[in-house]
Structure 1
Amino acid sequence: MATFLNYSPSNTLSLVDRSISYGDGLFETILVSNGSVQNLNGHLSRLSKGCLALRIPFGSDDLSKLAFFLNDLALSYTRSHVFKVIVTRGEGGRGYLPSAVAVPNVIISTSMAPDYTKIAQSGVALGVSSVPSNINRYLAGIKHLNRLENVMAKTNLTEGCFEDVMLDANGFVVECIQSNLFWFAEGGLKTPLLDGSGVQGTMRSRILVENECFPVEIGRYLVKDMQAADEIFITNSLMGIVPITNFIGQSFPIGINTRKIKVLLNC
């Protein structure tokens, strides 16, 4: 593993950085394959939107500097790696109120990428989490550092399942612990609306933009809607598309529609 702080090798961070006290920042988890950063524009776009939402000053020059560093760093790796990028508000301020002039910190770490090849071919089992996804329309969609419900959901993962579906307090499907959800039903592709909870995944965004094969419906769904699906799959930037072969005890096929989406996105 290699770690960097503000683009210089480092393994230390100030104890008064606001990310430690308040989770005041954002992060991106990015796949590097064959010396190339995958879907970097998608990750930088989400990071930029998150910084705007949190009012962290991270403009176009900062994004360009980050992109240049990541692209250059990726050339050092011939095997698949993961780059984790964290942008914090930095230090300063009193209590919850940040300093009027923030100086963000950029933290970058690298690690070997997990191999999802086998499960992408064979599929996985999916349960339903006992931990609800927080509803907060102001933070919905962005990948902020406050992810305690995901930590607790992972700790309480349903036995025998690779992932669990997380529901909001109203019982609506949001996402999985570390991935977004899609399913085929009634001739179309369905995915939950993420206007109150969840993360707008970069792979989710790619599917919504690049899919030209199926009509897409984004809405509020219950578990029973997923149970009525023809095919289900999950997705994130590292695993690509992984089919669901069992959802709370109900078997599902790895169908032709899921295979078409995998071919379309080359994952």
Structure 2
Amino acid sequence: MLCVRATQCRARVLACAAVTVVLMASPTMAQGEARAVFGLPFAEPPGPDTWLLGQVYGNTTGAFARRREWYRAGQGIHFGIDFSARCGTPIVAIGDGVVLKVDAPEHGSAPHNLLIAHPNGYVSLYGHLLERPPLRVGQRVRRGQVIGLTGDPDLTCNSRPHLHLEIRDRTLGRAFNAHRLIDADWDALMLVGAFGRGFQRDLDDPRKWQSVYDQPDIRFGRPLINEFRNTWPRDWN
């Protein structure tokens, strides 16, 4: 019994040490200098039978319309990327790392989520998973390894099944524009899919935030950044 307990204790210590080492890293690039360091969260190529790009990161018209409701915590913008896929579609890790959290409700994205800390200082969050991921905190994962299955935030699997993917810093208080950090042909991916690609326009600065590549990073819990005086499409709220 003592041997078993000692083995369990050592395993827990090693897991904690692995997480601590990874969290000591900081993101290697500021947003203005960001480069693609991650892969896509699916092994299969996009298509109607696999997955399609859903809502992109940033000040989308959809996020703006619900900025004071769904997206208030993220300063009013959609702070991740959505990938539309049938329930049960395998999700892979976008990079090597260590499991940081499993089913952490404080980070939203119900019914299940997973956070992986990466050695470059970033943390990836995978949300709206179908079931609790079969992983444990401190477990090492490799890029391309299956880590979970896509689910549906409405728990129906016929409403809006999708993966919600975020990239945060190691404090988990900042979310980065994931389009700048994931190696993908976003222009091609945006050509197909049911979700609108438009961004809300600030008519006092009409060129601001009109591309997936120039969307702002956000700090959770801070004031909204898109309370525009003049805007298009018109704000009916």
User: Normalized against structure 2, the TM-score is what?
Assistant: 0.25
Q: Which has the higher contact order (CA 8 A, sep 6+)?
A: 2
Identify, as 1 or 2, the structure richer in strand: 1
Identify, as 1 or 2, the structure richer in helix: 1
User: Normalized against structure 1, the TM-score is what?
Assistant: 0.23
